Amino acid sequence: MQGGGVITIELKPFERIDFSRLTGWIKTPEFLLQWAGPIFNYPLNEPQLEIYLRGSQEDPSLRKIYKVMNTADRRVIGHIELNNIDLRNKAATVCRVLVGEPSERRKGSGLQMVRKILEIGFDQLGLHRMDLVVFDFNQAAIKCYEKAGFRKEGHIREARKIGTKYWSLYQMSILEHEWRSKRKTIREEL
């Protein structure tokens, strides 16, 4: 652990061995929709994850899926993805962000995950823009994304249906120069 009880994380490729842990974290249809959007059906299961993983392996230039590991004890604590990678337009989407282990929440893990995926996008892939969508009621996630440097661009009203209700989303993005400025500020604070 670093000072202040903040853990250090690293991103590693998501593998079949991670399926059961991920399905164990997803306990309700609402939570599945909040985490993954409409790409999976509840209950999340291994056949769905097999298709998901195979898609990223067949064309890794379009999607990079990661498990998140606590570097101190090597436990897998979360999941994050970089999707819709468009090298021509230098853009991608951050999605399926999850601190799955309840004991690891509220320790800065989510912010570290987002910063690591931004490093991959901007530093390794040379992207110019990264975006995401987040449900407008998910205040913890919104604060995390804003702290990482994302800005709200728009409100997508009643975009997802769950049961008889509709949920709205915020579209958020960060540009390369904003990331570099934010990262410089973070380094100066350390």
C-alpha span between 68 and 131 (Å, rounded): 20
Query: Which pLDDT tens digit goes with each residue over 109-150?
Result: 999 999 999 999 999 999 999 999 999 999 999 999 999 999
171 — phi, psi (to 5°)?
Answer: -90, 130
CATH number of the domain that residue 64 is part of: 3.40.630.30
Summary count for the chain: helices (H), strands (E): 6, 7
Residue 103 burial (C-beta neighbours within 10 Å; 0-12, 13-18, 19+): exposed
For residues 67-71, average pLDDT: 97
pTM of the shown model: 0.94
Q: How confident is residue 190, by pLDDT bands cut at 50, 70 and 90?
A: low
Distance separating alpha carbons of residues 124 and 112, to the nearest angstrom: 17
Q: Which domain holds residue 86?
A: 3-189
**Mean pLDDT for all residues in the chain:** 95
Q: How many domains does the chain have?
A: 1
